[in-house]
Structures are given as C-alpha cells and as structure tokens.
Chain A
Amino acid sequence: MSAQPLLTEPAVTPALAAEHGLSDAEYALVLEIMGRTPSFTELGIFSVMWSEHCSYKSSKVWLRQLPTTGPHVICGPGENAGVIDIGDGLAAVFKMESHNHPSFIEPYQGAATGVGGILRDVFTMGARPIANLNALRFGDPRHPKTRHLISGVVAGIGGYGNCIGVPTVGGETNFHRSYDGNNLVNAMTVGIAPADRIFYSAAAGVGNPVVYVGSKTGRDGIHGATMASTEFSDDSEEKRPTVQVGDPFTEKLLVEACLELMATDAIIGIQDMGAAGLTSSAVEMADKGGLGIALDLDQVPQRETGMSAYEIMLSESQERMLMILKPGREDEARRIFEKWELDFAVIGRVTDTGRLVLTMHGQTKADLPVSPLVERAPLYQRPWEPTPAASPLEAGLGAPAGRSFDDLLLTLMACPDLASKRWIWEQYDSQVGADTMAGSGGDAALVRVHGTDKALAMTTDCTPRYCAADPVEGGRQAVAEAWRNLTAVGATPLAVTDNMNFGNPQKPRIMGQFVGCIQGMAEACRALDFPVVSGNVSLYNETSGEAILPTPTIGGVGILARTGDAVGIGFKAADLTLLLVGATAGHLGQSLFLREILGREDGPPPPVDLAAERRHGDFVRALIQDRLVSACHDVSDGGLVVAITEMALAAGIGADLPGLARCDAAFLFGEDQARYVIAVPAGHVAEIQRRAAAAAVPLTTLGTTGGTTLTVGEYDAISLKRIEAAHEDWLPHYMASLAP
C-alpha cells in the first residue's frame, strides 16, 4: 500500500479485483450484487470479507459436522469466543486463534498481536481474561531460521502477555521440518464473566450511536487478512508491512475501560476490530442485527494524515473496538474512556437500510448491501481425496543392537519434542493474578476462579505426525489427548476450542486431510461429551508448495470443583505404588521412538478407542476426586517410560519398576492411547484394584517411588540428575549456540 495519500483512486477493473485475491467468478458475483462496478473502497471491502481468513469459504461446510451444543454451552461458534457455564453464576469464555503467517514474517510483532487479538476476542464478550496458552510449532532445529523464529515468537508472547497482566500458564512446542517455512502460533485465552452478562456483537436500535474506542487507526496491517489467505513464496519478507504492531499497555487500558463500561447497561453490542479491522466489525454487527450502519470516516481517530477511506476500512491497527451504545449514554461512556486516556469517537449510526454506507470529506465512498456481503460470500465444496492408509510396520521392530537402555532413554528425553521447554515458559509471567495453581510442565494448567474454591483446567494438544499418517485417527487423538490431560489433573472436561492449521485447500490431498481431521474430531467430541464452542481456521500454510503437517490444535477447558482435588505429575513422596491404567499393545507406528531412535517416520498412528478413553478417564478422575491418588500423568509422546520419567523429574524422586521386567522396546516406548500412570499410597491399592476390576479397566502394577534413580525392569539404575541434565539442557544450549 502506498504511504502517500491516494489522491485519485484507481479504476476498478477485473485485473485489480484479481490482484485483490478475488477469482473471476467471485468478481462476477460482486458485480451482480452491486449492479454496477464497485468503487475502490467497496472492492477492498469485498476482498477482505471474502478472503479465506474472514469467510471460511473452504472450511465452513465441514466445520458444521462438529458438535457444538451441550448442557454447559451458553454460546457456541459464531461469536467472538465460546461461552460455557461453570456454575455459581459464572461462565468461562475462551477461544484459540492462529497468527501463523505474521509470526513467520515478523516473529515478535506477529506473536504479540496474536496474543493481543485473542485477548480482545475474550474481553469483548464481557469476560476478564485469566489465562493464556500458546501452541507453537517450529521447523527443524537445524534450519537456519528456526532459532530466530523461536526467539522472536517467545519474546513477543511474553512481551504482550506479561505487560497486560494475564498469566501465560501453558501450551506446547513441537518441531518438524514441515514447519520450516510456516511456523505456527496458536494463542488461546480463557476468561471469566458473569453468566448472565455476556456481551454479543449484534447491532440493534435504528439511530443508535456507533462508537469507536481504543487506539487510533494507522496504515499498519492493511490487507493482513488477505496475506493470511495465500501461500508464501520466497518473497515473504516483502510482506512485513502487512503485519500489525502491538501495544499491550493500550490493550490493558482497553480491558479495564471496557469492563468498567460493561458493568453499566449502556452497551447494546460490541465487537473488536481484528482481521479486516473496521470493515469486518461494522459488517458483522450490522449483519447480525439485520440492520445497516452509516459511518462518517472523518470521525475515525487517525494516527496518520491523509488516509483514504480504503486505508481506514482495511487497516488492522490493534487495540480498537466498535460498540453500539444505548441512545444518550455517550457521555457516560466517554468519561470512562477518557479516564483511561483512550480515544472515544461517535463515528456513525445504526440504520434500517440494510446497507453499509461510508462517507468521507462529504463524499460517499462506499454504499453496499450488508446481507449479501456476508450471506452470499463464496462457499466452496473443494474437491478432496482421502489420505492413503499407511502400511503397517514390520513385526519385531526394537532397539538397534548396541544401544544401551540409558542411551535410548537419554536420547528421547533430550529430543526436541520431549526436551524441557523451561527456557520458553520462564519468559512468561505465569503467576500474575495470584490464582495460578499449576502452570507449564504438567498435563493441564490450573487457575483458580477468583473468589471461589473452583479452578479451571486448560490444555492445548495435537500430534500432527499422527494426523499426517491418518487424519481421522489423528483428529480423534488430538481431542482424546486434551480430554485426558484435563482428566489427569482431576478436572471434568467441559468443552473445546479448535485451531485448524492446514496447507492449501485447493489441493485435494490437503483438503482430504482437513476433512479427515474434522471427522475424527467430531467423533471424539461426541463420544467424550466435549463440544466445540469456538475455533479458527488457518489455511495456506505452505511455502513454495511445501505444506505443514495437518495440525488441528485442540484447546480443552475443564472444571475442578474443589481446588484441593488437584493432582500434578510429580511423585510427591517415596513409597508410593505406581500403577498403569489402560492396555499396552506396544504400538510403535508414528512414535517418537521410531523417529528419534530408528530414524523413521512411518506406520499408522496408534488407534484411538473412544469407549476405552471414556471408561479409563472416568475411572481415573473418580479416583482423583476421591483423593486416592497422589500423582497422575497421561501417557502420550514417548510412551510409558517417558511418562514415568517425567513424573520422577517433576518431583526429583526416583522409582524402581520391577513390573517392567522383560518388556520390549515396543512396550516401553509404544504410544498406545487411553493410558495413565498413577502414583498412589500403598494403602489404597486394593481399593483401586477392586474398582478397576468392577469397571473393566486394565490395571498393571509397575513398581514403587523412591530414591534418586530410575530402575526400569532389569536395566541398570539411571541417576535422575543425569536424565535431568539431558532433558533440561537441550533447549537453552540450542538457543545459545550458533551451530545447528
């Protein structure tokens, strides 16, 4: 975009429409809707509203398969964030959203504004944000750009979240070469609101004032939504001007000012200005209310002089909100925003015309019908092909000859996906709010609901290598693992937000991955009573034709009825009995053992038995809530021995595991699902065995906690200090070194 004022607007032609990302058929539809050639500003509005990012044109028909209702659901997908009832008159409001493309182009600002954007989605609904999580995927650690991306993304997430004062309590970080050209930043925010005071975005009341609050509008981020709707090529550096710049201090003021105004009854509707800025917020508010909006763009607070209507409407400047107020309440609202030193301007009125009319300098810059802009947005049934089934692994795979058990375990515990991510999460304030019970490093984070004895549990999960090998199974597994992680801290899982990250949907192979993952997710969400209440889709995560692994990140939220019920993964004490819940067949396909030890990424992912997941999870949760369990950890990446090792490291207490004598590598490191390791006082073992038998849950005695070493079956004891050094050192050493 030109930094100079556009004195004359370019003539709108089919070629200009194509430059705006509209296909020939889409532009023909624009002409039909308008009945004339659109103005330059109108073309810009159509192009962003119909971008993949804003319209979900490739994904919408499939997203409808996901279950979105349930007894706890107050508001499902379609608003700024999902809302669920958590009792005591309170609601949890949450959503996850990607900021992948900007975070690759400009990692600090891209990640920071990702956090800022998702926070706005949550407080727009009337909730005070209480926690952030981040699911990150980076390329191969040996890729020259990876270190720079990690450094910038982590600093950006911390820079925003730490300043605004919302604790960053969890997330995940994985590495795979498929993300070399497209790292993923999926940011999730959870907030709390009074259940009877949720704010929605629909406009109402002809003549009511349309109010702009927050930061001024500048030329940053113009066409960000369009940028995020195409593949990258080698020129992605040139797209830096499309990345927005974050100001967490202003957003902190905006949170406080909005919540202060929300405590009154002056607001009719409110919508944050995220992707496609003022355009999408005004259009969505008008469309949801079945009304029109007239805006006087001269009234929009502007950071720069000489901005055109096109630039004002397409700017993605951060920390801005649009509100419809009750008539006569402008002064009251203005006083609150002035106290917080934020811009406040009445920029228009609600109308009954059903049209978005924009005037500037006394001229009409745009006049278009709202409903067709939204309802007639293109919707594609893209051709798709199912992912071919992976060939099963040959029988008898095991540890390579000559590699000791020590070596295998240390290699796994220090591999990029399993190594400690402390270097990352210590850069985030995880405790502000003084309600954090458990942050990163466990199965799920726990944050007390302020002023109550309840806590919310939250987690993000996805195993992209499973999704690539079998999208349906991978979709099931992502949901099941999130559900398991909430269960493992003692919480009752309630609902899900999803963040679908995929390649180019115009390729049938990629579309097939999307379709398969949705199918698996839908099955798992139904089987586990775990509805999807919000979500986001990020497509075109490809560079020069290379797509990322399919990555449907699941953000799960659950409730812990009593904070005292919580358990962590650390052993807590010596002389506890270690039990394995669930059956082990020794599934090595797509396992980390296969990848890190045998150098192979093949085979089918572990099958997910949703009935077993449900049965085993309900069994474990009841044990925890009945206070029979001292520590619990779900078994996932790396398998059984890795899970036990993580429990030992978390507490600095070792274990002796005679129950694993004569077990092969597949048993020790296979990634069979629906499993948990629990550490229980010896006096509770008989009761737990009785319950397991009654519920038909497989239960195996593994051994006992104690000491400072880990002894697996007949192998020599390994000192925890040695494992800890390997596990903790990988990431800081990697970040500090210059070599790959």
Chain B
Amino acid sequence: MKAAVIVFPGSNCDRDVAVALERTTGKPPVLIWHRESELPPLDLIVLPGGFAYGDYLRCGAMAAQSPIMRAVVARVQTGVRVLGICNGFQVLTETRLLPGALMPNAALKFICRTVGLRVENADSAFTRRFQPGQVIHLPIAHGEGNYVADAETLARLDGEGQVAFRYCDSAGVTSDAANPNGSADHIAGVFNARRTVLGLMPHPERAFEPLHGNTDGRMIFDSLLEALS
C-alpha cells in the first residue's frame, strides 16, 4: 500500500497519521505540501486533522481551493482511496467529494473526548476488518463536527450504505445524549457513493497503540492495508 499524507499550512495531525501509516505498512508515507500540483502513484491519500490555513474562513474552505486538491480530485476519479480525518473530512465536504457540511458543534464549544461509534457499513476498504453493527470507541477533538445535509441526501446516504459510523452509547444505541456535536442522524463518518472516499470526525490515529489506552482505530489502518496490498 503506497500512501501519502497531504500537508496544509496549519495541519497538525499530519505527523500522527504518518506514524500510524508507517507502523501499519512498514514504510513511511509520502508527505505532500499543499502547493504541489502533482501526485506520485498512490493507493491511499490521507487528509489529516488540524486547522488548514487557520480555518479562519469556513473550516476546510481555503484548503479545498489549494493546488493539491485538484490533483486529489483527479485521483478520486481513478478510484484511489481517500481518507479525511477531522479537518480532512471538512476539506472533503468543501471540495464536494463528500456530501453535506460540518457546522459548529451544537453546544458551540470545542469537544475533546472519547465517544462510542457504531460501524454502519463494514463493506469498504476502510472498514472491512469490522463487523457490521460493531461498537467501537474513538477520540474526537473538534469545534465544527456537526454534520448537516438536506433530508433527501440523508435518506440517500442511509439507503445507499454511505453512512460509515454513527455516534452511539456503549450498547450501540444512538441517542441525542450519545451524539457529541448535534450531527444529523448521529452521523460521524460518511462514504462517497463508490465507498472509495471516507470522511470521519473521530481520530483513529489516536487510538492506535496500547499506550493510547484503546486500539480500535488501528482496525481502519489494518483494513486499508488488507484491501490495498
């Protein structure tokens, strides 16, 4: 699996996800600066968490206009897998590679905590090592993770298996109490129609090794390794 991590000015989880990728595949991913316009041959592109361009406009809006994102969009057409984590998810919705948008959290405050997630679709390169309906735990850390889309889009996402993860309690039950940011339909992560692009607010790279106290996130990297090697 050949992987790349896109680095925007203000990305701050680029190193963390690069470490997770290196420990998964045994080789370091390529780090690609936002001003580049070409990509080497790749199986996976990761858009990391952080505050690209400071997020002083809408989160991800500036990054979506950067030269490298044109190259990323072109690769998506060819079926290359793209994983957007947190700010990377915001960039994917701003680029329209994923439907919907991420609004300020319902409580209007940044939230950093570990949340329960239900795996809604295990039939993808990102989630194949999970069981459908499996309950996992991952950390979130964001101020704008409140997923919104119109009713028609939400119905399509649900019907077409494009919802990857939903916020839930430890028994796997979704509820407003288990939804940390007010996301529509408790959505924490979505696929594109072909399930080649995944955006999610939680940080799998922060639940990767025993030192983190939780290794549920490693399953996403292991799934990708299995699917793309």
Query: A residues engaging B (CB < 8 A)?
Result: 155, 158-159, 162-165, 247-250, 252-253, 340-341, 425-435, 437, 448, 563
Contact = CB atoms under 8 A, between A and B. Distances in A.
B139 interface: yes
Given A248-B54, A249-B55, A426-B111, 11 more contacts: A158-B110, A165-B50, A165-B51, A249-B10, A340-B9, A429-B141, A431-B212, A432-B12, A433-B15, A435-B211, A437-B213
Contacts of B20: 434
Interface string B89-112: 000000000000000000001111
Given A247-B54, A429-B110, A165 B12 contact: yes
A428 B9 CA distance: 21
A249 B13 contact: no
A434 B205 contact: yes
A249 B203 CA distance: 21
B167 interface: no
B10 A163 contact: yes
| 9 tightest A-B CB contacts, nearest first | A165-B12, A249-B54, A434-B16, A429-B141, A163-B51, A431-B206, A427-B110, A429-B112, A158-B110
Contacts of B19: 434
Contacts of B51: 162-163, 165, 248-249, 252
Given A165-B50, A434-B208, A434-B212, A341 B112 contact: no
Contact of A249 (B16, B56, B110, B212): B56
Given A165-B50, A434-B212, A426 B113 contact: yes
B55 A163 contact: yes
B90 to A, nearest CB: 14
A162 B49 CA distance: 11
A435 B211 CA distance: 8
Given A163-B10, A249-B10, A252-B10, A437 B211 contact: yes
Contacts of A340: 9
Contacts of A563: 211
Interface string B42-82: 00000001110111100000000000000000000000000
The B contact surface, by secondary structure, is mixed
Contacts of B56: 249
A143 B15 CA distance: 44
Nearest to A249: B54
Contacts of B139: 431
A340 B34 CA distance: 11
Interface string B1-39: 000000001101101100110000000000000000000
Contacts of B212: 431, 434
25 contacts: A162-B51, A162-B110, A163-B10, A163-B51, A163-B54, A164-B12, A165-B51, A249-B51, A249-B54, A250-B54, A252-B9, A341-B9, A426-B111, A426-B112, A430-B112, A431-B141, A431-B206, A431-B212, A432-B49, A433-B15, A434-B19, A434-B20, A437-B211, A437-B213, A448-B211
A433 B12 CA distance: 8
Contacts of B49: 432
Contacts of A252: 9-10, 12, 51, 54
Contacts of A159: 110
Nearest to A563: B211
A514 B50 CA distance: 42
Nearest to B7: A256
Nearest to A422: B113
